[in-house]
Amino acid sequence: MISYKTPAFVEKKGVVLSHEQIPYDSALTFNAGISRYGDGYVMLFRNDYGFCKQDFDDFYAGISDNTTPKTNLGAAFSKDGINWEVAPESVFSLSGNGISRLYDPRITDFGDGSFGICFAVDSSSGVRGGVAVTEDFKHFDIKSISLPENRNMVLFPEKINGEYIRLERPFLARGKGHSIWLSRSPDLIHWGKSELVLSSNDLPYANLKIGPGAPPVKTPYGWLTLIHGVEQQEEEFVSWHRDWKSAYYGGVMLLDLENPAKIIALAKKPLLVPEEKYELEGFRGGVIFPGGMVAEPDGRAKIYYGAADTVECLAEANIEDLIKFCFEYNKLEKS
């Protein structure tokens, strides 16, 4: 059972993109990256396709599993960050050389007309994390794809001490839980000088996995950084879903402006808890997966997240409240 609640200062706005809006084959649209773009916003979303409603029903009924999806990335554009117009064709996919698909994109605005894109790829050797650059969201110049097993990468919007910075989540072969790391690069190709930032063992609401969410947003107090944390449930989480026993929460922390491997404050309670129907029911009920945060001039933040591995959603909060939340719940101990 989920024992957390989304704090009152977070205003959930509901679903902003679902597969009905996609003009090509689409079953699930979720885990998007979002950025400001021109005088509006751009979204790159994960589009899983190649299966239909009957396949879902058979999956839930335990009859068959034809839900191993093909995936491409779609692009969508918006004037207000709420209503989205989807580009007529998918814009980015990857296969061959042992790679089967690319998914979970994140967008970082470098502020010079170019955007850093991070993504995960499934390969015959395991999951790998990729970094690309685009200016038009049609052409993607792939700079690097990591060794397996790594993913959930996000790039910082500016260089620090002359280096690009990314957060990432390698899979740990030893011990329990996973952790967020930070690596540095002179060119987006070569990554190193890696440091541990946060382990799921230090996060009370995550007993399994953890990962960076949205690219960090600069505030006077530090880099405001969304994460996700996974709590494995003892009992089956939603009875209608075969074998699904985990809850994915959105979380938030503040990283040091000069040395972002250092945590200034970390909310030890989740920021976004799956509780609405569109978060609890879908391909994977109980999943909240933040991938984008846009700071607005009025002090509000738009927080975008995939829900139930099925749709893309929006929540809003005051940036000040997000920062306060980090400090207020910083001191909670792991029980």
Interface positions with ligand BMA (CB under 6 A): 31, 104, 248, 284, 287, 289, 306, 309
| Per-position b or e across 99-118, b if 16+ CB within 10 A of its CB | bebbbbbbbbbbeeeebbbb
Give 22 or 265: the residue with its C-beta nearer to ligand BMA. 22
Least distance from ligand BMA to the Cβ atom of residue 178, Å = 10
Cis link prior to 149 (omega < 30° from 0)? yes
Whole-number Å distance between alpha carbons of 285 and 28:
13
And the tokens for 215?
């690219």
For ligand BMA, the closer CB: 116 or 282: 282
Nearest to ligand BMA of 216, 286 (CB atom): 286
Cα 328 to chain centroid distance, Å, stands at: 24
Shortest Å, Cβ 160 to ligand BMA: 28
Q: Is 18 or 31 the residue whose CB approaches ligand BMA more closely?
A: 31
DSSP bridge pairs for 251: 227
The token pair at 187 is 């060119």
Going by the DSSP 8-state scheme, the letter that residue 133 receives in this structure is E
CA angle at residue 177 from 267 to 260, to 5 degrees? Answer: 45
Residues 6+ apart with CB under 8 A from 20: none
Q: Which two tokens stand for residue 72?
A: 């491409």
Neighbour count for residue 144 (Cβ, 10 Å): 16
**Least Å distance between CB 188 and ligand BMA?**
23
Shortest distance in whole angstroms from residue 17 CB to ligand BMA: 15
| Shortest CB 151 distance to ligand BMA, Å | 8
In the bound state with ligand BMA, the residue whose beta carbon lies nearer, of 206 and 254, is: 206
DSSP bridge pairs for 270: none
Q: Which is nearer to ligand BMA, 248 or 249 (CB)?
A: 248
Q: How far is the CB of 142 from ligand BMA (least distance, A)?
A: 20
